[in-house]
């Protein structure tokens, strides 16, 4: 069954899928759950835009959304002790989640399963489900925040403001749920991860750092944007993304190491087991270049996951 509707400039279809759970090769996951195909946040740098090649969509990324319908999870206890990542190639809390409730449906089906839930989002809509999340045991909510500049944010995505993300993070953190500030992607010369760290250090347990990985069709769009808005950074971007010079991100790794040391924060290159960090001393996790050494959906290798 497929039902197609038009919501302003967004094409929305309801589609059936046999299984909502997919084994994942993400560095942080055992299973991936993507309750939607596509994402109306329309991030200009989104690695998940490669999905269009396998879904039949010809629309611009960010202008379509397939709302999945699936049979109820028959044996949720199968996932006990497994990490389940909600939103590896979509945002489970895109604005349409308020209407369709797919992510909440997944959470309800996994309640009591013993799975460790990781939610990746750019939204504050997750606060709607706070009481449900508090009943689910091991839960982590991660917000992508790669700038404190709202104009740059608006240039890059159509998600809620950074201030709304930060407010949601604090509310979830104060409710006793583990939170992550995912500083991703780090835009060379633009993203100030030290300033972001200072804003979030008292309301998150982990800070993840990941480089801007320019591949596929969006590379030209980002390079053109830099040429227009940040022309002084063109030589840097040319060195990194055309000449494959890794020295800038190596310098950032050294800076992150010093940041961690100066603030008495653990600095690791892989995430520690589930747990809460001491307030003000989040664990800083180095995922710079992780797509080269661990395998990641950033590379497009997970091409068959719909």
Q: What is the pLDDT of residues 125-173, one digit of tens each?
A: 999 999 999 999 999 999 999 999 999 999 999 999 999 999 999 999 9
The mean predicted confidence, pLDDT, of the chain is 88
Tokens of 270: 């892989």
- Which domains does the chain show, CATH number per domain? 2-295 (3.20.20)
- Which pTM does this prediction carry? 0.89
Tell me the pLDDT band of 50, cut-offs 50, 70 and 90. Answer: low
Q: Name the more confident of 89 and 186.
A: 186
Residues 287/271, Cβ–Cβ less than 8 Å: no
Residue closest to 306 by CA, chosen among 37, 31, 57: 37
How confident is residue 5, by pLDDT bands cut at 50, 70 and 90? very low
For residue 258, pLDDT over 70 is answered with yes
Q: How confident is the model at residue 289 (pLDDT cuts 50, 70, 90)?
A: low
**What is the H or E stretch that residue 174 is in?**
helix 162-174
The string of DSSP codes covering 251-270 is HHHHHHHHHHHHTT--EESS
Q: What is the pLDDT of residue 52?
A: 60
Least-confidence region, from 73-87, 186-200, 230-244, 259-273: 259-273
CA–CA dist 248, 226 (Å, integer): 17
């Amino acid at each position: 069954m497929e039902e197609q509707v038009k919501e302003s400039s967004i094409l929305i279809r309801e589609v059936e899928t046999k299984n909502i759970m997919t084994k994942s090769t993400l560095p942080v996951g055992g299973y991936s759950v993507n309750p939607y195909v596509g994402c109306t946040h329309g991030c200009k740098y989104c690695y998940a835009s490669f999905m269009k090649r396998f879904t039949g969509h010809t629309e611009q990324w960010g202008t379509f959304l397939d709302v999945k319908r699936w049979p109820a999870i028959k044996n949720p206890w199968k996932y006990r002790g497994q990490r389940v990542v909600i939103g590896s190639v979509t945002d489970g809390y895109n604005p349409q989640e308020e209407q369709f409730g797919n992510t909440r449906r997944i959470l309800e089906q996994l309640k009591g399963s013993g799975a460790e839930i990781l939610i990746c989002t750019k939204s504050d809509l997750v606060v709607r489900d706070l009481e449900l999340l508090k009943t689910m045991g091991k839960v982590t909510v991660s917000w992508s925040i790669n700038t404190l500049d709202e104009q740059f944010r608006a240039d890059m995505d159509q998600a809620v403001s950074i201030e709304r993300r930060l407010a949601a993070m604090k509310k979830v953190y104060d409710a006793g749920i583990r939170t992550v500030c995912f500083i991703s992607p780090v835009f060379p010369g633009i993203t100030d991860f030290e300033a972001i760290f200072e804003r979030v250090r008292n309301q998150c347990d982990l800070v993840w750092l990941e480089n801007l990985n320019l591949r596929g069709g969006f590379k030209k769009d980002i390079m053109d944007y830099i040429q227009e808005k940040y022309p002084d950074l063109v030589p840097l971007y040319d060195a990194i993304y055309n000449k494959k010079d890794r020295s800038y991100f190596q310098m950032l790794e050294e800076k992150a190491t010093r940041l961690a040391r100066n603030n008495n924060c653990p600095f690791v290159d892989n995430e520690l087991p589930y747990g809460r960090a001491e307030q003000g001393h989040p664990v800083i996790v180095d995922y710079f270049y992780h797509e080269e050494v661990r395998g990641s959906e950033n590379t497009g290798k997970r091409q068959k996951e719909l």
